[in-house]
Structure 1
Amino acid sequence: MPGRTLPTLTQAEVESHNSKKSCYVTIGTNVYDVTDFVESHPGGPDLILEYAGKDITAILKDEISHKHSESAYEILEEYQTAFLVTDKLAPNGNVQKKVADSQINDKVNNYVHPRTGMSCEEDLSKETDIANDYKEHKFLDLNKPLLMQVWCGGFSKRFYLDQVHRPRHYKGGASAPLFGNFLEPLSLTPWWVVPMIWLPAVAYGVHLASQGFDTKLGLATSFGGGVLLWTLIEYIMHRCLFHLDEYVLSPIYYKAVANWVSSYLPDNRVGITLHFLLHGVHHYLPMDKYRLVMPPTLFVVLATPFWKLAHSVFFWDWYLATAVYCGGIFGYICYDLTHYFLHHQNLPLWYKDLKKYHLAHHFLDYELGFGVTSRFWDQVFGTELVTVVKTA
C-alpha cells in the first residue's frame, strides 16, 4: 500500500473525541476517526461510543463479545487519521509516515463465502462504490429507483438471485430510492412505528376477547398459544414466501415437494419484482434501518388472511379465535423488533449468538437459517445454519 502522511495526536487529544459528533479510537499508536461509521456499526452505535477516545485492541479480539475478522480491520484502516504520541514519538509538529501496524496485520482467518466474499458482520457495513458496483455487475444502480430497474432489467432468475444476495451498503446506511415517487414514504418504516401502531390494537383485541373467558388463565393460555404459533408462522413465511428462491422446504425431509415448489418463483419480471419488493431489497441492502420492519400497509395485507384463518379454525368460539390471533400479532411485534435490533443494536449476552446466527443467514448462506427469534424450527425442519471457521 502506498504510504501517506499523518499528523500526531496526544492521548488527551484523542480522549477529547469521545462523542457521536467526533469519535476517535486507537489501536496501539494508530488513531482512527470512526465518526462516520458509528451509526452504521452492525453491533449498534452504543458499542462504539462506549470505547470512544479509547484503545480497542482488546475488544476487537474478545471472543465473548465478537472476535472481529479481517474485513473489520480493513474497514478500520480506511479511517486512520493520525498517530498517537508515545515516548518514542515525541510531538514536534512534524508529520509521520504511515506504516503497517503489526496489530492491524493480526487478522482473524475466518471462513469466506465463495459467492458473497463475506466472512463476518462487518462486511455488511462496507460502503459500496456505487459506480464501480454497477459497472462490474450490471445489476442495479443504487442512485436510481430500484424497483423499476428490477422490473425493466430483463434479469434471469438465476442472475437476480445471485446478485440480490450479495449485500451492498448504501452511503452510510441511508435508504436507497425504491420507488422514487410519492410511494417512497410508504416503504420507509422506523422501528418504533411497529409497537406504536400494533400494541394498542393487540390490547384492544385482548380486551374484547377477555369478555368470552371465565378465567384469566384461559385467556393467557390462548394468547400464549398464539405467540407460540407465530414462531412457526415466522419460519414458514420467511422460508416459503420471502425466500421463494430455490428450495421452499428442507431438501433433507421434503426433497420431492421442495423440487416441485421451487418452480413457484417464476423466471419472469413479475415474480422477480414481487420477490424484490417483499424481501429481496432487505438482502440487497441489509443495513437499511428504515426497511428492516414491515410497513403497516404491507402488514395489513398479510395479516388479514390470518384473521379469517383463525376464525375459520376456531369457528365455534369467536373469543378464542380473537385471543389466539392477538397472541400471534404480539409474536409478530416481538419478531420485527428483534429483527431490527439484531441488525442495529448491541444486544445482551444471551442475544449475541442469535445475532451472529441471523447475520450469517445474510453473509454466509441465505438458503439456511430462517428462524429470526429462534432457531428451533430450523432444527426441526433441517435448515439450521452451522457456520464454518477455518483453523490456521
Structure 2
Amino acid sequence: MPGRILPSFTPAEIETHNSAKSCYVTLGSKVYDVTDFVDGHPGGDDLVLEYAGKDVTEILRDEASHTHSDSAYEILDEYHIGFVASESNGKAVNGGAPQAQAAGDSEPVFATTGMSREEDLSIDTDYTEDFKTHKFLDLNKPLLLQLWNSGFSKEFYLEQIHRPRHYKGGESAPLFGNFLEPLSKTAWYVVPIMWLPPITYGTILGFAGLGSVSAASAYWAGGVFLWTLIEYLMHRFLFHIDK
C-alpha cells in the first residue's frame, strides 16, 4: 500500500516545537518529530533540546562534538514527519496549520493525493524516496522505457498518476533520455509560428473558393467549435477515462 506524501511546515511553525513536550528538528529540507527520542538520546536530552526547532545538519557533521554513524541517520528517519516549506510557497494558514499525522497513521488528510494542504503541491519531490515508497516510476531515469516495461495494474497506475509530483526547478522529467529528448520540449511561441501560416493560407483559399464572406466566416467559426469539441471529448472520455 503506497504511503502518503508528507505535509510541509514553515520555519516559524517548526520553531514553536522547541520543548521536551514537542520537539522538532530539521535536517536539510526534512522535518523530524524527535519528542519520543529526547530522553533516550545517548548524549543526554540537553543536547537535543538545545537544537529544538532548529536545523541539526552542522551538529551531526561536527566530529569534534560527536561522531554520528549511518545508523544514527536511519534512526532519525523513523521520526520523519514532513518537509520544510520554501520561502516562495511556505505561507502559514490563518488560524494555525493542521498538525502532521504520525508516520504510522493509515489515512492521509486527502487519501487520493496524499496531500495535507495546498503548500504541499509545491514541494520538490525526493525522487529516490518517492520511488522507494510508491514503487512507481524512477524520476531520475527516462520514463517512457520504464512505463513500457512495467507491469502496473490499471488501478495502481491511475492511483499514482493522480498523486502530484513536483519536478525540481520546474523542469520536466526525462521521457527518452537520448537525442530525442529535445524534441519532447516545445516553447509556447513555436506553436503559433508553425500553425499560423497554414491556417492563414487555408482561410484565404476558403474565402476565395466560397465567394461569400458570411458563409466562409460561418464555416470557419463552425470548424473551430467542432474541433474544440472533438478535442475535449477525446481527452475527457478516451484518454483520461478512469474506468
Q: Does 2:196 match 1:205?
A: no
Higher helix share: 1
Q: Does 2:226 match 1:218?
A: no
CA shift, 1:113, in A, is 3.4
Per-residue CA shift, 1:95-128, capped at 9, x if unaligned?
xxxxxx9x6563588xx53211347765433211
Which TM-score applies when normalising by structure 1? Answer: 0.36
If you compute each CA radius of gyration, which structure gives the higher value, 1 or 2?
Answer: 2
Q: Does 2:136 match 1:139?
A: yes
The number of equivalent residue pairs is 154
1 or 2 for the larger relative contact order (CA 8 Å, sep ≥6)?
Answer: 1
Q: Does 2:183 match 1:175?
A: no
**Which residue identity lines up with residue 137 of structure 2 in the other structure?**
L
Whole-angstrom CA distance in 2 between matches of 1:128 and 1:163? 14
Residues 119 and 209 of structure 1: CA distance in aligned 2, closer, same or farther (over 3 Å): farther
Q: Does 2:87 match 1:79?
A: yes
Specify the SS of the correspondent of 1:211: helix
Whole-angstrom CA distance in 2 between matches of 1:222 and 1:119? 49
Q: Could you say what the CA RMSD is over the residues aligned between the two structures, in angstroms?
A: 2.8
Whole-angstrom CA distance in 1 between matches of 2:147 and 2:119? 27
**Which residue identity lines up with residue 179 of structure 2 in the other structure?**
F
Partner of 1:128: 125
Residues 77 and 243 of structure 1: CA distance in aligned 2, closer, same or farther (over 3 Å): closer
Which TM-score applies when normalising by structure 2? Answer: 0.55
Partner of 1:243: 240
Matched ranges for 1:94-109 at <5 A: 106-107=95-96
**Percent pairwise identity:** 56
Pick aligned residue for 1:194 from 191, 194, 204: 191
CA shift, 1:179, in A, is 0.7
Specify the SS of the correspondent of 2:111: coil
Whole-angstrom CA distance in 1 between matches of 2:96 and 2:120? 14
Query: Is this contact kept in 1: 2:143–2:175, CA < 8 A?
Result: yes
Whole-angstrom CA distance in 2 between matches of 1:233 and 1:120? 35
Whole-angstrom CA distance in 2 between matches of 1:211 and 1:123? 55
Whole-angstrom CA distance in 2 between matches of 1:76 and 1:199? 45
Partner of 1:117: 114
Q: Does 2:181 match 1:166?
A: no
CA shift, 1:181, in A, is 1.4
**Which residue identity lines up with residue 155 of structure 1 in the other structure?**
F
Whole-angstrom CA distance in 1 between matches of 2:218 and 2:116? 43
Which consecutive residues of structure 2, in runs of 5 or more, have no partner in the other structure?
A: 1-13, 15-23, 27-81, 99-108
Which consecutive residues of structure 1, in runs of 5 or more, have no partner in the other structure?
A: 5-73, 81-100, 247-392
**Which residue identity lines up with residue 106 of structure 1 in the other structure?**
G
Partner of 2:65: none
